[in-house]
Amino acid sequence: MLARFVLPLALLAAGPALAQTVAASTPKAPAGAPSDIYRSAVRIEAAAQVPDYQTPWNSGRFGGGIGTGFIIGKNQFLTNAHVVSNARRLLITIHGGSRKYPAQVKYIAHDCDLALLEVEDFSDFEKLPVFSFGEVPQLESQVRVIGYPIGGERLSVTRGVVSRIDFSAYSHSRADQHLIVQIDAAINPGNSGGPVVQDGKVVGVAFQGLRQADNTGYIIPTPVIRRFLKDISDGHYDYYVDLGASTFPLYNPAMRQALKLKDDGNGVLVTDVTPTGSCEGVLKPGDVLVSIDGHEVDSAGQILLDGEKVDLNEVVERKFAGDKVALRWLSQGSWNDKDVELKPLPPARMYAIQYEKKPRYTVFAGLVFQPLDTNLFATSKLDDVNVRRLYTDYVPKGIFTERQDIVLLTRVESDPVNSQLGGFAGKAVDKINGTVVKSLKHAHELLNPATPPEFFVIELFGSPRPIVLPGNAIAAANKRVSETYAIDHLSNLEE
């Protein structure tokens, strides 16, 4: 998965000296741009606090970084979500200025790595020019990346050529894929959120680079930016919709013959249809999707859109909840046509890194329970095969329809009442006192009844025996654990 190999620019290590980077003490503006347009590219200083998922009752560690933003309207500064994620303080500086302006996040979209900031007082920015947006740059055309990369305090401009237009992973969330433009500009950490300009207009936002290659950067193109801005126009961000179907390429001639398909290089095999998703009851595994919104789907799952071959999901990417998409597919020898209403798939966010949220947990006699998600996977060693299966199958197999959370016993804080239970850590909870656990809140309720039972029996997936704790010893154990490990609150059930 590409997300393992790319990182947001703010997280990449510094590279060698950049021959193409121009120190911009008095840079020339792009053709057709106002001479002072560079003043509208601002430096962002962020102080952040990252939650601690290993000991979730702690406040987390502090950190910080530098990024770039740019003015797109009255008191509107566009930047990357990863520049301002988990921010506790944001300061904006104008190019050539010394004053630091306090700022705050107005809207943030972690799934497409974009955010809109505002300052407390915009009056000093009123006379600065506003960046306007262009179209997706053509292959082999030249662009300029404007930003504040590491290696200096002043503005920097990097020139590069568009080398690829693709539908690929956005590393900030580790789960989302959108349209992406690759350029050979030598961009560095700190460029994140900076405008990528062509003919005086913004054609993208710099946001991540490839660790294994020099002079390779990626920008968020304008279709993604425009969708974000349209989404927030009603005052809140609603996330992307999802087709709710997975497909597999149909290159193999024998497979095409078995499906009674022409050898025309078109059509992809439907492999999974997500329960409760947009296509539930419409498509089914084994169907062959041949067209989406009138765009012919080739055997690689691509369509021709705006003169470029892109993933078929790019059609869905540009739509919103309630919009419809026209599908044409072959099912058991019969052709079918239907307009499908698109909707988000909230359970799929379990696969994405979460930000600006406190870890959920509950502590019970030293046993720490947490919901399974990608944040936990990223910070803990979860190698139990049952946990990995539950994680993988959570959306495709519809586990989320029965269990809102997969609850894990993540650690055991030592106490006399829980001795000899170390081997249970890292396993998923199936039942508590015979009741199937549906969520962390449900587990908390089962563990804290009005009248404690004689014994609490906790059954774990893949464990040959349950955990059994005496009910009359829990209150004293909770008090000891709270004092011994300085746990002020034994639970946090809200995000």
CA-nearest of 359, 448, 322 to 54 is: 359
Write out the chain in H/E/C secondary structure. CHHHCEEEHHHCCCCCCCCCEEECCCCCCCCCCCCCHHHHEEEEEEEEEECCCCCCCCCCEEEEEEEEEEEEECCEEEECHHHHCCEEEEEEECCCCCCCEEEEEEEEECCCCEEEEEECCCHHHCCCCCCCECCCCCCCCEEEEEECCCCCCCCEEEEEEEEEEEEEEECCCCCEEEEEEEECCCCCCCCCCCEEEECCEEEEEEEEEECCCCCCEEEEEHHHHHHHHHHHHHCCCCCCCECCEEEECCCCHHHHHHCCCCCCCECEEEEEECCCCCCCCCCCCCCEEEEECCEECECCCEEEECCEEEECHHHHHCCCCCCEEEEEEEECCEEEEEEEECECCHHHHHHCCCCCCCCCEEEECCEEEEECCHHHHHHCCCCCHHHHHHHHHCCCCCHHHCCCCCEEEEEECCCHHHCCCHHHCCEEEEEECCEECCCHHHHHHHHCCCCCCCEEEEEECCCCCCEEEEHHHHHHHHHHHHHHCCCCCCEECCC
Burial (Cβ within 10 Å: 0-12, 13-18, ≥19) of residue 465: exposed
Query: Residue type for 471, please?
Result: G
Residue 424 tokens, joined: 């249970």
CA–CA dist 376, 53 (Å, integer): 6
Lookup: tokens for 452: 């404690």
Query: Could you list the active site residues?
Result: 82, 113, 192
Residue 258 has φ and ψ, to the nearest 5°, of -65, -30
Residue position matching structure tokens 């539930």? 280
Residue 209 token pair = 């680079």
Amino acid 39 reads R
CA distance 94 to 131: 15
- Partners of residue 309 on adjacent β-strands: 304
Other beta carbons less than 10 A from residue 354's beta carbon: 19
